[in-house]
Each structure stands twice: as structure tokens, then as C-alpha cells.
Amino acid sequence: MVSQEPARAWSPHSLIHTRRGIFITGTSILGGGVKAPRIRTKNLLSIVFCEVVAIYGVITSIILSSKVSAINGDALHSGNNYFAAFAIFWSGVLVGMCNLVCGISVGINGSSAALADAADPSLFVKILIIEIFSSVLGLFGLIIGLLLSSAAGDFSAIS
């Protein structure tokens, strides 16, 4: 019997890394908001970019869990089922690790954007572009993870 737990296991990791990015950005927004209160609303974009990382993890876990089905007996040990299992597992690992890097880098860049905006308002757009580039890391991980999992067929009985 194949469990669906490994497919759902990477969604909490994406949420953990999202939380870390939001914490890094939020502390800088609150700290910089003391000097320049105007940055609190403008720098909420950084927190939205961090939340997108969690959405990538949820999308991946839904797609991967839909590919898993219960198989009993000798059908479990076929080559196609092994390939499908490893492809599903490694696509989840890939998306989880990309979300780790993306969440932390977006958090650090969001922190830099908040503090730079507090010091000089003309720097916000320039640093926001860098933050967009770092948020693309999670999107690349999602795309590659979906391509990897689409190469795996569904679990099936031996024909």
C-alpha cells in the first residue's frame, strides 16, 4: 500500500520557509517604520512575495498527491511504479528546497528594501526588482518540479 503522506510532506516545509521570510521582512518593516512610517504600506509587497512561496508548495502537494494511488501485492514492485515513486518524491524535494532558498532570499531582500526605502525613497523600485528576481527562484523550482512529476505516470497494476 502506497501512502500519500510523502506527497503532502513538502507543503509544511514551504510554509516554514515562508514564515521565516515573513519574519525577516516584518522585523525590518517594523524597525524601519519607526523612522519612516510611510514604508509600512509600500513594503507589504515583500510579504506578498513570501506568501507566494507557500502557494507554490500547496500547488505542488495537491498535484503530487493526486498522482499517488493505492496498489497492493506484486504490482507495487514494477519498474514503472518505482519510477513514478522516485519522480514524485524528488519533485517534492526539489520544490521544497527551491522554496527554502526563495523564502530566505525574498526575506533578506525584503528586509533590505524596507531599510533602504526608509533611508532613501528612490531606492525602493531598484531593490524591488532584485526581490522579484529572487522570488523567481521558487517559480523555477515549481516549473521543474511539475515537469519532473509529469514524466512519472500514475501508479498502475502490472499488465
Mean pLDDT value across residues 86-92: 89
Specify whether the CB–CB gap between 62 and 116 falls below 8 A. Answer: no
Residue 2 inside a domain? The answer is no
Average pLDDT for residues 94-118, to the nearest whole number?
90
Q: How confident is the model at residue 140 (pLDDT cuts 50, 70, 90)?
A: very high
- Please state, as a whole number, how many other Cβ atoms lie within 10 Å of the Cβ of residue 132: 13
What confidence score (pLDDT) does residue 86 get? Answer: 87
pLDDT at 1 > cutoff 50? no
Q: Please tell me the total number of residues recorded for the chain in this structure.
A: 159
- 120 in any annotated domain: yes
C-alpha neighbours within 13 Å on the C-beta side of residue 36: 17
Domain assignment present for residue 1? The answer is no
Residue in the structure block whose three cell numbers are 518540479: 145
* Number of domains observed in the structure of the chain: 1
Is the pLDDT assigned to residue 71 strictly greater than 60? yes
CATH code for the domain in which residue 138 is found: 1.20.120.610
The residue segments making up the domain with residue 48 are: 7-66+77-151
Average pLDDT over residues 125-138: 91
Q: Would residue 139 count as lying in a domain?
A: yes
- Whether 36 shows a pLDDT value over 80: the answer reads yes
**Which has more confidence, 14 or 10?**
14
Least confident of 32-41, 55-64, 71-80, 145-154: 71-80
